[in-house]
Amino acid sequence: MNHKEQFLSESYIKQIRQLDPAAQRKWGKMNVHQMIEHMSDSFRIANGKDVHTGILTQEEKLPRFQAFVMSDTPFKENTKNILLPEEPLELRYQNIGESIDELENEISDFFKKFDKDKHLIIRNPFFGDLNYEQWVALLYKHSWHHLNQFGVSNSH
C-alpha cells in the first residue's frame, strides 16, 4: 500500500475528526461540515455510486488533466467546480458526526469496489475515465486541498 492509499484508508478520517467544526476557512465558501459532505460526494463518484456519463473537459485536454492528477501539483485555492452551485449545498445531516460516518463509509466502499476489480475504470466528470491508481491520486490531492483550506498542512 503506497502512502496515498494509506492516508486515505487510515489517516484521512482521523484528520477530519480532529478538525474544529468552527475552523475558519482560508478560501472558498464551505464550512468544515459542508466540506465533509462534499468529500463524501467525491468518494461516491469514485466508488461508482454517483455515475457521470459525460466528461466536461475537452478530449484533447484530458491527457494534460490526467497528468495533473498523477503529479504532486496541488489544486489551486478557490478552484471552481462548475457542477456545484455558487453557494454551498444544504447539509444532508445536521450532526457533523453523521456526516463523518457517511464519509468513512464512502471511503470504505471505494476500496471495496476496487478490491473486487483492480482493472475497473470509473468516469470522473472532469478528469475522464480513471483507473484505481488515478482515483487514489485524485482523491488524495482533493482531500489535502480541503484539509489545507482549513489550515491543516501536508507533511508529504
Q: Give the domain range for residue 64.
A: 3-7+21-77+93-149
Tell me whether residue 156 is in a domain: no
Residue 88 covered by a domain:
no
Q: What is the pLDDT of residues 2-13, one digit of tens each?
A: 999 999 999 999
Assigned domain for 39 exists: yes
CATH at 32: 1.20.120
> Residue 86: inside a domain, yes or no?
no
Residue 73 lies in a domain: yes
pTM: 0.96
Check pLDDT > 60 for residue 156: no
- Segment 6-22 mean pLDDT: 97
Is residue 125, in this structure, part of any structural domain at all?
Answer: yes
- Per the domain annotation, does 123 fall within a domain? yes
Whether 30 contacts 36, CB under 8 Å: no
Q: What angle do CA 151, 79, 131 make, to 5 degrees?
A: 95
Examine residue 16 and state whether it is found in any structural domain, yes or no. Answer: no
**What is the number of structural domains in the chain?**
1
**Mind spelling out the 3-state secondary structure of the chain?**
CCHHHHHHHHHHHHHHHHCCCCCCCCCCCCCHHHHHHHHHHHHHHHCCCCCCCCCCCCHHHHHHHHHHHHCCCCCCCCCCCCCCCCCCCCCCCCCHHHHHHHHHHHHHHHHHHHHHCCCCCEEECCCEEECHHHHHHHHHHHHHHHHHHCCCCCCC
**pLDDT per residue as tens digits for the range 103-151:** 999 999 999 999 999 899 999 999 999 999 999 999 999 999 999 999 9
Partners of residue 128 on adjacent β-strands? 124
The per-residue pLDDT of the chain, averaged, comes to 96
Which set of grid coordinates corresponds to residue 148? 489545507
